[in-house]
Structure 1
Amino acid sequence: MKNKTEIEPIKAKIEHLKAKQAVEFIAFKEQLQVTYMSLKPLNLIKSTLAEVTSSPDIRNHLIQGLVGIAGGYLSKKILIGASSNWFKQIAGTLVQFFITKKIVQKEEEILGETELE
């Protein structure tokens, strides 16, 4: 049979490891909760919107795109109207595409000049 002196350090080490395991398990549960909360769809949307609104580059490109799309859409409605002719609808879509592209290019030129000043 082993000595009592040989068993005591092993028992102490086991108790120390059990305490360490309990502390690490609590930390793991807390981190799991934080990760779960950050992966909820609503929180993902909130964090993405916060990034978009805080970054001036993303905001400028978003505004550029929206202005271009709106300009192209309005030009299609003005030039083509509500035609039921499929040829006019295709032509209207092409007009919308090219006008949107030109608006975005002009905005990039304007913004590029103002950034240089």
Structure 2
Amino acid sequence: MLLPSLATTRIDTYGERILLNAVSAAVRSADIPWRTAVRQALCVEPQKVDDMLCRMRSTGLLGPDDTPTALGAAELERGSSAIAAITSDLVDGIDEPGQAITRTVLKRIGTSARDLLASPPYSLTS
């Protein structure tokens, strides 16, 4: 469901959305280095992040200082709006307690998946 939402933007992949979101958040907060956050979220090596940065600079989504350009900020907002609309449709008819349970379960599955991907035999980076 994410990729059709991003198709309305110049953001090509889930990874690029994560990266653009991370650098946007980094402008506001320095709690965790954004490169680290991106690598952890995507379970990728630093070179993959560098490759995405290069492409996003070449398409005008990021400036030379790796901050979002006006275009990058607008495309991130457009993608976020599309994702919010789809999410609203997906949870239509599910009450708030049911949505809360779903978020908890999905968060737990995501954490387990990241933990598995960080260690052999599932590791993508070893």
TM norm structure 1: 0.31
- Ranked by relative contact order (alpha carbons within 8 Å, sequence separation 6 or more), the top structure is 2
TM norm structure 2: 0.29
- Larger Rg, first or second structure (1 or 2): 1
